[in-house]
Amino acid sequence: MNLSVEGRPLDEKRLVEQAKNGDVPAYTDLVRAYQGIALRVAYLVLGDALEAEDATQVAFMKAYQALGRFRTGAEFRPWLLRIVRNEALNRRRSAGRRAGLALKVASDPVLGDAAPSPETVVVRGDDRRQLLEALEQLPTGLREVIEYRYFLGLSEAETARALGTATGTVKSRSARAIERLRHLTKGIDDG
């Protein structure tokens, strides 16, 4: 994975080792490199931007404190995202509420030079809402796999490490989740 901050390439393994030895600027570079995806993970769990920001900040502090326990040679991103996810889950549980999935789904790119018709925009918006509502109906284990794989763009292996499960479990949960989403969204036009 090519890691960079403000356009300059970074060596993750070197930064992690430096941070483990107390180099705060090295850890700051890691935070800058991963703050976007960490915030998205927290948001997927909490559904609230301010709560997600707070959870992410606390998770980064906890990760810094836990660096001594980070296994040399392991991948930092899945380890960090697991801490973020756990912090967000703890916040959700302690607040006594179940946060619904409220994702900001980007507009479809305009194909060619022609803008889509108003009818197309409305139908696509309805389709997105229906898909997100169906996603909320999935059990947590299935929903998280879809969120990590498709909304965050993690590989199967990264998803497995971030969720603390086996790669085979990610594959089977993905297949089950997609099948259930198909069933729940039968009305969505495929083309």
| CATH number of the domain bearing residue 44 | 1.10.1740.10
Co-location of 43 and 120 in the same domain:
no
Contacts of 128 (CB under 8 A, 6+ apart): 105
Co-location of 138 and 95 in the same domain:
no
Question: How many distinct structural domains can be found in the chain?
Answer: 2
pLDDT tens figures, 88-138: 988 887 665 333 333 333 333 433 444 444 445 445 566 777 777 888 888
Co-location of 118 and 95 in the same domain:
no
Q: Provide the domain limits for residue 39.
A: 1-100
> Last residue of some domain: 42, 76, 100?
100
Query: Residue 91: what are its φ and ψ, rounded to 5°?
Result: -65, -40
Question: 0.95 exceeded by the pTM?
Answer: no
Any idea which residue has 């390439």 for tokens? 9
Co-location of 94 and 118 in the same domain:
no
Band of pLDDT at residue 8, cut at 50, 70 and 90? low
Co-location of 175 and 188 in the same domain:
yes
The letter for the amino acid at 166 is A
